Amino acid sequence: MSIRVTQTMLNNNMLRNLSRSMGNMDKLQEQLASGRRFSKPSDDPVAATRSLFYRSSLVENEQYQQNASEAQSWLEITDNSLEEANSILQRVRELVVQSGDGSLSKDSLTAMAKEIRQIKDHLGNIANQTIGSRYIFAGAETNKPPYNQATGVFDNTNSQEITLELSERVLVPININPQEVFNYRGQSGTGDNIFQLLDKIATDLEAGNDATSYLGSLDQQLDNLLAQRATLGARMNRIELVQGRLQDQELNVTKLMSANEDADVAEVITNLKTQENVQRAALGAGARIIQPSLLDFLR
């Protein structure tokens, strides 16, 4: 059964095709202006889903990098503090060795004792080092100073780790156990901590006695500080490796997102030029399809 094609049908089809052609041109012009392959999810649902995944990955990566930077800052301040503590304890060791000189007067030994007590106070300041408003040598009790300036006692007993997530399910501690630094009691575990040791050295010097008998205990404290710094250095190296990996991941995900979202400008320009030619051809064909009416002759 044949279908009678009317002029109205021809006109409607022509207008529909012209509208579709204009829609294609509009889409290409929008891609060229925005530089994006799509402007709404309905343009390309698959690409839009991938885009959401890539953007979510970048947000997570950014947070991990912030965590890694915070961890790096925390560990660097900790390492600098331990280095300073090691330096002043080396000065204490020099004074202890000098105290063994039998020609020294009691006034000289008393002067050494005063210097050691000042060093003890400074070591207390190091123990109360903060980053922001948090004490780094207080375990998880970061809002409370671990060293009591009034009594001269390191009275903190918290050894809990503070961890940050540097990648999915990878938690890294950013603090060291303060009990293993300022409450370290020698290899036997029954000796004096560093503050108690400095007190005893100063007391003996004030009494006019040499303090060379404390050299062994002092050396154990210095060796412990070096061991803690070595552990800290290994952790800092690990965080640097993680930071490098996170930066590489950010670059890779950014490239994937660009390939998924960004329009190929050269291809879009070519398609737009082709579509313009199609539009002109459609308009030319439409002019032939529309038949002249009586109004065309009423002039």
Q: Which CATH superfamily is domain 63-257 in?
A: f41 fragment of flagellin, N-terminal domain (1.20.1330.10)
Helices (H) and strands (E) in the chain, counts: 6, 6
Assign 159 a pLDDT band (cuts: 50, 70, 90).
very high
Instruction: Transcribe 256-282 into DSSP letters.
Output: HHHHHHB--HHHHHHHHHHHHHHHHHH
Mean pLDDT, the chain, as a whole number?
86
Assign 34 a pLDDT band (cuts: 50, 70, 90).
low
What integer pLDDT is reported at residue 287 of this predicted model?
A: 67
Burial class from Cβ neighbours inside 10 Å (0-12, 13-18, 19+) for residue 137 reads buried
CA gap 203, 205 in Å, rounded? 5
Over residues 59-98, the pLDDT tens digits come to 999 999 999 999 999 999 999 999 999 999 999 999 999 9
Give me the residue label for tokens 């000098």: 98
Parallel/antiparallel/unpaired status of strands 147-148 and 163-167: unpaired
Positions of CATH 1.20.1330.10 in the chain: 63-257
What integer pLDDT is reported at residue 147 of this predicted model?
A: 96
Backbone angles phi, psi at 76, to 5 degrees: -65, -40
Longest dimension (CA), the chain: 133
Report which of 128, 133, 175, 177 is spatially closest to residue 148, judged by C-alpha positions: 128
CA gap 159, 176 in Å, rounded? 8
CA gap 203, 224 in Å, rounded? 24
Q: What is the pTM of this model?
A: 0.77
Over residues 217-227, the pLDDT tens digits come to 999 999 999 99
What integer pLDDT is reported at residue 125 of this predicted model?
A: 96
